[in-house]
Structure 1
Amino acid sequence: MFPENTSHRPTEQAVTIHQPTPIAPYPAAPIVPVQHGSVPAVTSIVLPDGRVITGYAVDHTRPEPVTAMPVVSRTAVNIALGGIGFASVCGGLLLLTTFIAALAALVQQLIILAAVIFGGFTAVQVLTAGQSKGATTVNIRKAVIKRNHFHG
C-alpha cells in the first residue's frame, strides 16, 4: 500500500516519561481560636468538565452607599419652620396685646371710679358738716394786710 520509500514513513521518536517529584510536607499551621461566625462556609463548585473545586466563598467588598444630598438645605428648612412658628405665634401676640390694652383701660376706669366715689364722699361730708349737731363752726373774720403785716 505504501511505497517502499521510507521518507514518508513516520519516524519513531523516543518517548520520555516524567515522574512527578514528591513535595516535602509543609509543617502544620498553628490553630488560632476564631470567633464563631467569622469563618466563611466551604463551597464546592462542579466545573463543566467534571472537576470539583472546593474553597471558601469570598464576599466582595462593597463600597459605602453614597448619601444623597438633600434637595433643600437644612438652613432653609430651619428658616421656613421658624417663619411658620412666628406666624402661628403672631395671632397669640395680637391677642396678648389686646388683652393688655383692655386690662389697662379697666384699671384706668377703676381709678376714675374711685376718684369719683371718694370725691363725692368728701363733698357730702363738707356740705353736711354745718348741719349736724356735733360739727365745729369756725368764724373767719376779715383780715387786713398792710405793708406785709397781718392785722387781725
Structure 2
Amino acid sequence: MNDPTHTPAAHDTTALEVHRPAPLVPSPAPLAPVKPLAVPSVASVVLPDGRVVTGYAVAAAQPEPVTAKPAVSRAAVNVALGGVGFLAVCGGLFLLTAFITALTALITQLVILAAVLFGGWIAAQVFGTSGRRGGTTIHIRKAVIKRSHFHS
C-alpha cells in the first residue's frame, strides 16, 4: 500500500473479511446470578470508494419528552400577584395618610382650644373687677420737711 509504484484501482474488489467477536460468557457470581449481556454484532459497510467501515450499530437517541406548558405562564402569574400586592399597599398607604391628616387636624384644634381657654383665663385675671387684690396698701400722708428732718 505504501509502495509509490502501486496505483489502486477505482473499484478494488478484494475480499472483505467480517470479524464477529465471540460473546463473553460471564462467570457466575457466587451470591447472585447475573444475566449474560448480549454483545452486538459488528457490521461492515463498503463505501463507494472502496473503503470499509466497521462498527457497532448504535440505537438512535430518543429525544426527551416535551413537558406540557401550563395554560398561563409563570411570568404572567408573578406580574398579576405583584399588581395585587401593589394595590393592597397603595390602599394601606392611602388609609395611613388619611389617618395622619385627621390626627394632625385634631391636635391642631386641641392646641387652639387650649390657647383660647388659657388666654381667656389670663384676660379675666387682668381685666377682672374683683375687690380682692393681693399686695401691699400704701397710704400717702402730707409730710412737712423742716431743716432736713422728716416729720410725719
Give TM class, smaller chain.
0.3 to 0.5
TM-score, normalising length: structure 2 = 0.44
TM-score, normalising length: structure 1 = 0.44
| Greater RCO structure (CA 8 Å; 6+ sep) | 2
